[in-house]
Amino acid sequence: MSFPPLVEPADELTIDEVRRYSRHLIIPDVGMSGQKRLKNAKVLVIGAGGLGSPALLYLAAAGVGTIGIAEFDEVDESNLQRQIIHGQSDIGKSKAVSAKESIAEANPYVNVVLHEGRLDNDNVMEVFRGYDLIVDGTDNFATRYMVNDAAYFLGIPYVWGSIYRFDGQASVFAPTLSDDAPCYRCLYPEPPPPGMVPSCAEGGVLGVLCSAIGSIQVNEGIKLLTGIGDPLVGKLMIYDALEMEYRKLKVRKDPNCALCGEHATVTELIDYETFCGAVSDEAAEAAAGSTISVGTLEHMLKEREEGSRDFVLVDVREPNEFEINRIPGSVLIPKGDFLNGSALEQLPTVDSGTQIVMHCKTGVRSAETLAIVKGAGYGDAVHVGGGVVAWVNQIDPSQPAY
C-alpha cells in the first residue's frame, strides 16, 4: 500500500544543497521534489541511544530539514559499544547535546531542536506537536505505549523499532493514515508481565544490530515523508542477526483495539508506569519490608565472616553477568531455576533456619524470586535494593559496571 507524501516540498534547494544531495537527486523516485520534501520535513527522534544514534545520523545526512531529539540522559562509557553518534570525549555529556554536535558535523544545513526533559504525560503532547513524523528509539514499554497513544491523538505517523541481543523488530504505526492501518496496541494490546522481558541493560544487545534496525526506521521514514514505495504499515519486520534472516508478518488492525478500535476505551493519556508495572504485584508485596540496602548487606557479610551470623547470598542473574562483576560471597542461581522449581533444591531447607538473601542487577528480578522463596516458606528472606549496580557504585567501585 502506498501513501501520499507527508510533507509538501520546500521552495528551493540552494546550490550547496544540490551538490550535497546529488546522489539522491539523480534517483528518479526521489529527485528534486523528494529532496525538497525532506528539506521541509520535521522529524522527532525519541532517544539518542542504540536506535537513535544511527537514525539521527542518517536522517541528518539525508537532508531532513528539522530534526528534534527527545533525550534526557547522559553519555556513559557502556553506551559507546553501539551508540555511534557519541564518542569518548562525550562521556558525561548530555546525549542530546552530543548528538546535536555530531549532526552539525554530518550536515550543517539541518536545524536541530533539543527536548532534554524526560518525556511524560505532562509534556509529551507539547513536544510532539508540529512534527510530521516520529522515529521511536525508546527502550521501555511505558514510554512505547505513551508514544503510541500521543502520536495517535495528534495524528502523527511513527516508525517503531526494538532490539534485544541478536533480534530486532520494526514497523510503522499510522492508524490516522488509513482505516486499515494498525497501531502498536493492535500488535501488543498489553505489555508483557513485569520482569518477563529483560531490557538491553539487563540482557545485552549486539551493537551492530542497532544500525540494522535504526536504518530500517530511517528508510521507512524517508518513504513516508516523500511518498515513495510501500512502507511497513500493517507489517512487522523481524530480523534475526544470527540466522541473517528478515521476515515480514502481516499486522492487522484490531477492531477491538483500546486506542484505535471502534469502541476505544483509551481516549486520553493514561498512567503508563502503572499500566506496565515496574514489578508484578506479587513481587512488590514480597519486597515490601523485605528489602535491604547494600550498606546493610556489607555489614551482614562482615558478621557472617566473624561467625556471628548465617545466611546464603543468592545472585539470580545469568552466568554471563556473574562473570562481569559480583558481590563477594554470593552463589549464582539464575532466576530461571526459581521459575522451574529446581532452585529450591539448591537452597538450605526451611527447617535449617538459614536466611536467604537475594540480589540481581538492579532489584527487579530478585523481587520476583523473593516472592517465590517466600511462597516456599522462607519467611525471613530478603532482597537487596539496587542490586549489584548499587554494590559497585556505593561499596566497591573497583569492579566494572555494565
Which residues carry out catalysis?
Answer: 200, 360
Element (H, E) at 36: helix 31-40
The grid cell for 67 is 530534526
Can you spell out the DSSP letters for 256-319? T-TTTSTT-S--S---HHHHH-SS-HHHHHHHTT-EE-HHHHHHHHHHHHHTS--EEEEE-S-H
What's the closest the beta carbon of residue 152 comes to Zn ion, in angstroms? 8
What's the closest the beta carbon of residue 157 comes to Zn ion, in angstroms? 13
DSSP β-ladder status, 158-164 and 133-136: parallel
Regarding 183 and contact with Zn ion (CB under 5 A), the answer is yes
What's the closest the beta carbon of residue 189 comes to Zn ion, in angstroms? 8
* Nearer to Zn ion (CB atom), residue 155 or residue 377: 155
Can you spell out the DSSP letters for 63-95? T-SEEEEE---B--GGGTTT-TT--GGGTTSBH
> Site residues for Zn ion, window 280-299 (CB under 5 A)?
none
* Nearer to Zn ion (CB atom), residue 39 or residue 185: 185
Element (H, E) at 359: strand 355-359
Give, to the nearest 10 degrees, the angle between helix 31-40 and helix 209-226. Answer: 110
DSSP β-ladder status, 245-250 and 235-240: antiparallel
What's the closest the beta carbon of residue 104 comes to Zn ion, in angstroms? 38
Which residue type occupies 330? S
Q: Which stretch binds Zn ion (CB under 5 A): 42-50, 186-194, 228-236, 351-359?
A: 186-194
The grid cell for 131 is 512534527
Interface residue with Zn ion, options 185, 335, 359, 361 (CB under 5 A): 185
Regarding 358 and contact with Zn ion (CB under 5 A), the answer is no
* Nearer to Zn ion (CB atom), residue 184 or residue 391: 184
For 279, other C-beta atoms within 10 Å of its C-beta total: 20
Count of residues engaged in binding Zn ion, rule: CB under 5 A: 6
Distance CA(64)–CA(111), nearest Å, equals 9
Q: Which stretch binds Zn ion (CB under 5 A): 43-51, 179-187, 351-359, 362-370?
A: 179-187
Regarding 333 and contact with Zn ion (CB under 5 A), the answer is no
* Nearer to Zn ion (CB atom), residue 191 or residue 207: 191
* Nearer to Zn ion (CB atom), residue 174 or residue 301: 174
What's the closest the beta carbon of residue 191 comes to Zn ion, in angstroms? 14
> Site residues for Zn ion, window 203-262 (CB under 5 A)?
257, 259-260
Distance CA(312)–CA(315), nearest Å, equals 10
What's the closest the beta carbon of residue 175 comes to Zn ion, in angstroms? 6
* C-alpha closest to that of 301 among 332, 331, 329: 329
* Nearer to Zn ion (CB atom), residue 232 or residue 259: 259
Q: Which stretch binds Zn ion (CB under 5 A): 53-61, 183-191, 243-251, 378-386?
A: 183-191
Regarding 186 and contact with Zn ion (CB under 5 A), the answer is yes
* Nearer to Zn ion (CB atom), residue 187 or residue 205: 187
Q: Which stretch binds Zn ion (CB under 5 A): 121-129, 180-188, 211-219, 315-323?
A: 180-188
Which residue type occupies 322? F
Distance CA(317)–CA(204), nearest Å, equals 13
Can you spell out the DSSP letters for 108-121? TT-EEEEE-SPP-T
Residues in contact with Zn ion, shown as a per-residue x/- string from 16 to 45 under the rule CB under 5 A: ------------------------------
What's the closest the beta carbon of residue 128 comes to Zn ion, in angstroms? 18
| Burial letters 6-15, b for 16+ CB under 10 A, else e | bbebbeebee
Regarding 266 and contact with Zn ion (CB under 5 A), the answer is no
Regarding 55 and contact with Zn ion (CB under 5 A), the answer is no
* C-alpha closest to that of 158 among 167, 170, 168: 170
Residues in contact with Zn ion by the rule CB under 5 A? 183, 185-186, 257, 259-260
